Structure 1
Amino acid sequence: MSNEPKLTENLIENATVSSAENLRRWRLVLGSEAEQAGSDLSQQDLAIDRALNALYEPNEQQSGKRAGLGSSAPSVARWLGDIRDYFPSSVVQVMQRDALDRLGLQQMLLEPEMLQAVEADVHLVATLLSLNRVMPNKTKATARQVVAKVVQELEKKLGTPLRQAVAGSLQRAVRNLRPRHNEIDWMRTIKANLRHYQHDYQTIIPETRIGFGRKGQSLRDIVLCIDQSGSMAPSVVYASVFGAVLASIKSVSTSVVVFDTVVMDLSHLLSDPVEVLFGTQLGGGTDINRALAYCQGLVQRPRETIFVLISDLYEGGNNKEMLQRAASMIRNGVSVICLLALDDNGAPSYDHHNAATLTAMGAHCFACTPDLFPDLMAAAIKRQNLEQWAAEAGIVTTRAA
């Protein structure tokens, strides 16, 4: 009983602190409309409040209050620096995207001062690439640094899983029964020869040797065909990085083709994914039929080819001919995968009729997040049932028409 007053005092103190903190947070959430709520903000909280108001209360000018971000790059750069001080990186990226959408700051990205202040992410890279053609020379060097930083982070995060998944699937997909010493798969060889265990010598006689595929031998041909219309911008960034990673794996032959109404083969740039990205031109129309016509010419070994079309399937060209070309590739034995999106959202807008028609032909149509792409490629290389793989991965596939 002697501890009751102390316990009650602590509870009251904690409740008071919690109530004050809650009031502070609501004041920051509600903005200037809650100025009469009675919450006293610290100097730092006032600075945070100004940063939020600049973005989320852009109509303040109409009421005679302080304006938003203004029209000059230096003021925007200062604002970007402020939010990086006050908020974690994930929140900063959301606020930057909101600023681009709400306040039309694309033109500000043409200033080096602003680029140096931004928190770089995939969406920012996509915006920069869409501005590539109008970007002044003084800004391009800074833009390349921003893009290179994001690409490096993506490669670090996604490159190793993709290499491991592809290499492992190739090893399991191909049996080499006459391997050289450095090609022996020791685990499979030991398992296959357990019956030849010699008790006297405590060893196994490897009567049958099982090896990996020949090094340097291209076991699969992979073609990434990427729609670079504006709605596919984040997918273009991820696909370009994945293409460069696949190109570094000698056991597969990788081609990367991007298209809008014009088709560009960027395979010769795959040693540098930044160059691949700056070789794209986001925001054009869409002619999938023309892209498929070009890619058909790249297919030399249909049954060893995995064709990945990354597109929302909104065709601006000859839709009937596009479907006929896809059907021809499938009949010839090409494994056709249509990724309706390759981004973090996984909820794309797409042409449902084309997706259903392609599925009925034997293509596999679904959206895919970047973290699942390595497993997808591994499953495709091993010729697994991709519908079953997608179901196990929690991916909703398109139903046949």
Structure 2
Amino acid sequence: MLESQVSPQLSTTEQRLRRWRLILGGGAADGIGGACLSDRDLAMDAALGALYSNDESPEMSQERRGGLGSSSPKVARWLGDIRKFFPTSVVRIMQQDALERLNLQRMLLEPEMLEAIEPDVHLVSNLLSLSGVMPSKTKETARLVVRRVVEDLQRKLENPTRQAVLGSLNRATKNRRPRHNEIDWHRTIRANLKSYQPEYRTIIPETLIGYGRKRSSLRDIILCVDQSGSMATSVVYAGIFSAVLATLPAVKTSMVVFDTAVVDLTELLQDPVEVLFGTQLGGGTDINQALAYCQGLIRQPQETILILISDLYEGGNNQEMLKRVAALVASGVQVIVLLALNDDGAPSYDCRNTAAIASFGVPSFACTPDLFPDLMAAAINRQDITQWAATQDISTARA
């Protein structure tokens, strides 16, 4: 990052000193390479110092308080500065650090602040957690910010999801004994090219491949999502994937979110932004109650995939929750537990519950968004999900 902004007129030694000066900050470090800093470097240094400068006193050094102060215009200016000096990936890190280190949650409650921030999935989760205390004007801006992130993620995730899910549905529903009006002629011809008869210029179809039997849905998919604070980014990705799956006519998709109450957001799936603002991040956790609700949605157990996205810290009746999972599995429902659905890895989770659930044959693991389409394809094809996870170098919980 710093190398790309080095002036070509500086010698190698001066460039090295400049980098160290920017890394170490001001004060005593001014003697290291302060003379090598350009006006742009000084402005960049001020932006870094506002967030990362140390207090001089040893007893205060642990706090590492910066110098943005309480002025809203100053914070807005700083947000603009870091976007000017640093690439997007660095800007996002600095924004997150500002939220955590300088307690700048208030900057998410003002429209002019939101307009200056580089949006990402972590920002969306912060906005959702604050949506209940936002002024109406700010909430309008927040929706625009959330929509930008959601649309960007949809562009990246929609095609892989559609291709993986529809491809697996096609493979899962091939009809090898079709009636005449059910024959898939393109697949049948490809499968029988080896039987081509040159003298008759025709193919002898030894194998007929047909379309699957038509019904309202080939698979029922239920995403049951824990909306406690630790699951914030997982809620965002789950909402987006649910909205994508809901556009596929071959599957029936339901999305249920829960804390100590259960909310069915299925009717909102045509707009993932509405889905996300329908969540209420934070609060307690009652997994048993949520699974009870999901049981009521199941009409075809053998054709139902239930994805429970939770860290499994149960605040309700833990024993009843485990019995309910066992009952779902026994009825034929394919149950998968995702301890997280994000790029950050697995959070803290309840090891005893993951082990107990693993004893029912239910895999539990963290999944990144880029692997989720393949996971759904594997589930639709009734693959061994534990084995699938192993091929992806994903560790699953064991009994």
The TM-score normalised by the length of structure 1 is 0.91
Inter-CA distance 324–223: structure 2 relative to 1 (3 Å threshold): same
* Counterpart for residue 27 of structure 1: 21
CA-CA distance at 1:372 after TM superposition:
0.4
Inter-CA distance 374–185: structure 2 relative to 1 (3 Å threshold): farther
- What number of residue pairs does the alignment pair up? 384
SS of match in other structure, 1:39:
helix
User: Residues 152-200 of structure 1: CA distance to partner in whole angstroms, max 9, x if unpaired?
Assistant: 010000111010000000000111343777972623x124434542212
* Counterpart for residue 39 of structure 1: 34
Inter-CA distance 81–214: structure 2 relative to 1 (3 Å threshold): farther
* 1:52 is the counterpart of 2:51: no
| Distance (Å, rounded) in 1 between the aligned partners of 2:33 and 2:172 | 69
Inter-CA distance 85–207: structure 2 relative to 1 (3 Å threshold): same
Inter-CA distance 125–37: structure 2 relative to 1 (3 Å threshold): same
CA-CA distance at 1:17 after TM superposition:
2.6
* Counterpart for residue 219 of structure 1: 218
| Distance (Å, rounded) in 1 between the aligned partners of 2:185 and 2:349 | 44
| Distance (Å, rounded) in 1 between the aligned partners of 2:161 and 2:46 | 44
* Counterpart for residue 117 of structure 1: 116
* Counterpart for residue 294 of structure 1: 293
Inter-CA distance 67–350: structure 2 relative to 1 (3 Å threshold): closer
| Distance (Å, rounded) in 1 between the aligned partners of 2:231 and 2:155 | 23
* Counterpart for residue 308 of structure 2: 309
Inter-CA distance 333–272: structure 2 relative to 1 (3 Å threshold): same
Inter-CA distance 29–321: structure 2 relative to 1 (3 Å threshold): same
CA-CA distance at 1:322 after TM superposition:
0.5
Inter-CA distance 16–106: structure 2 relative to 1 (3 Å threshold): closer
Inter-CA distance 68–194: structure 2 relative to 1 (3 Å threshold): same
* Counterpart for residue 184 of structure 1: 184
SS of match in other structure, 2:26:
helix
User: Residues 178-236 of structure 1: CA distance to partner in whole angstroms, max 9, x if unpaired?
Assistant: 3777972623x124434542212433244643133356641100000000000000000
* 1:245 is the counterpart of 2:255: no
| Distance (Å, rounded) in 2 between the aligned partners of 1:249 and 1:301 | 18
CA-CA distance at 1:57 after TM superposition:
1.8
Inter-CA distance 327–110: structure 2 relative to 1 (3 Å threshold): same
Q: Which moved more, 1:27-36 or 1:147-156?
A: 27-36
Equivalent pair of 1:175/1:212 in contact (CA under 8 Å): yes
| Distance (Å, rounded) in 2 between the aligned partners of 1:214 and 1:82 | 59
Moved over 6 A (4+): 60-63, 179-183
| Distance (Å, rounded) in 1 between the aligned partners of 2:275 and 2:91 | 27
| Distance (Å, rounded) in 1 between the aligned partners of 2:120 and 2:279 | 18
* Counterpart for residue 262 of structure 2: 263
* Counterpart for residue 379 of structure 1: 378
What amino acid does structure 2 have at the position aligned with 1:37? I
| Distance (Å, rounded) in 1 between the aligned partners of 2:286 and 2:66 | 44
CA-CA distance at 1:71 after TM superposition:
1.1
User: Residues 223-274 of structure 1: CA distance to partner in whole angstroms, max 9, x if unpaired?
Assistant: 0000000000000000000000000011010000000011000000000000
Equivalent pair of 1:170/1:213 in contact (CA under 8 Å): no
Inter-CA distance 56–181: structure 2 relative to 1 (3 Å threshold): farther
User: Residues 113-160 of structure 1: CA distance to partner in whole angstroms, max 9, x if unpaired?
Assistant: 000000000000000000010010011111000000000010000111
| Matched-pair identity in % | 64
SS of match in other structure, 1:116:
helix
* Counterpart for residue 8 of structure 1: none
| Distance (Å, rounded) in 2 between the aligned partners of 1:73 and 1:183 | 67
* Counterpart for residue 131 of structure 1: 130
The TM-score normalised by the length of structure 2 is 0.92
CA-CA distance at 1:16 after TM superposition:
7.2
CA-CA distance at 1:23 after TM superposition:
1.2
What amino acid does structure 2 have at the position aligned with 1:281? Q
Inter-CA distance 392–300: structure 2 relative to 1 (3 Å threshold): same
Equivalent pair of 2:52/2:66 in contact (CA under 8 Å): no
Where do 1:384-395 residues align within 5 Å?
A: 384-395=383-394
Q: CA RMSD in A?
A: 2.2
Inter-CA distance 99–280: structure 2 relative to 1 (3 Å threshold): same
Inter-CA distance 257–20: structure 2 relative to 1 (3 Å threshold): same
| Distance (Å, rounded) in 2 between the aligned partners of 1:67 and 1:344 | 28
Equivalent pair of 1:227/1:236 in contact (CA under 8 Å): yes
Inter-CA distance 152–304: structure 2 relative to 1 (3 Å threshold): same
SS of match in other structure, 1:398:
coil
